[in-house]
Amino acid sequence: MTRPDLAQKRADLKLQIREAAIKEFAEHGLAGTSTQGIADRAGITKNKLHYHIESKEELYQQALDHVLTIWAEMFSGIDLNQGPEIFLADYIARKIRFSLTHPAEVKMFTGEVMRGAPFLREHWAGSRDVTHAAAAQIQKWVADGSIRPVDPMLLQFNIWAMTEAYAVLGPELRFMLDLDEGAALDEDAICAEVTALVVRGLRPDRETARA
């Protein structure tokens, strides 16, 4: 096997380990997760797992950083010049799609925050910078009359709450809709509903009255 093949094999195994760890952390939290559980889910031996990681805490931190990076890229990868409605529709769709396709990542992150974010605080600076940059852009839209006056930080938290709920509360929603456990949810309908709530609610009063 060539060196590139070996490097790819190691990279694939690390991804396999991270995905297994995220699911274990989402279900059991950091305290309740064992390296044996991670190894079993990854389909490898515990000794092999420890060859690739130093500790479950290190792996937990890497998983959290992975989610933070994804969410930062979701915001920075959208063209702001299209205006608030197109931007928000795109951003909301990305967030909902991630919640529906990667619920374990969202549950793990939410669980960390609910525990007081002890592992996030040292690494939250970059996420805060992105959030403040978004708030500045929202404030510009308020200033030029594109959207009604709104607290730019609270708006972001409200969007996060609505979009991430479909990962955290997915089992409850399926129960209420009489769907089987793990059944696919209607992504298009969810995106349309959340987008309408946000976009219509942000329109200047004169436009809201005509809508």
Q: What is the pLDDT of residue 43?
A: 94
Per CATH, domain 1-53 is 1.10.10.60: yes
pLDDT recorded at residue 209: 45
Alpha-carbon span 66 to 127, nearest angstrom:
12
Asked whether residue 208 carries a pLDDT value surpassing 50, the answer given is no
Is the Cβ–Cβ distance between 67 and 105 less than 8 Å? yes
pLDDT at 10 over 90: no
> Could you read off the pLDDT of 69-95 as tens digits, one per residue?
888 787 776 777 788 999 999 999 999
Domain parsing of the chain, residue ranges? 1-53, 63-210
Q: How many residues does the chain have?
A: 211
Is-same-fold flag (1-53; 63-210)? no
pLDDT tens digits, one per residue of 159-201? 999 999 999 999 999 999 999 988 999 999 999 999 999 999 9
Give the pLDDT confidence score for residue 37 in this predicted structure. 96
Q: What is the pLDDT of residues 111-155, one digit of tens each?
A: 999 999 898 887 777 788 888 988 999 999 999 999 999 999 999
Mean pLDDT of the chain: 89
CATH class of 63-210: mainly alpha
Element (H, E) at 102: none
* 99 burial level (CB within 10 Å; 0-12, 13-18, 19+): buried
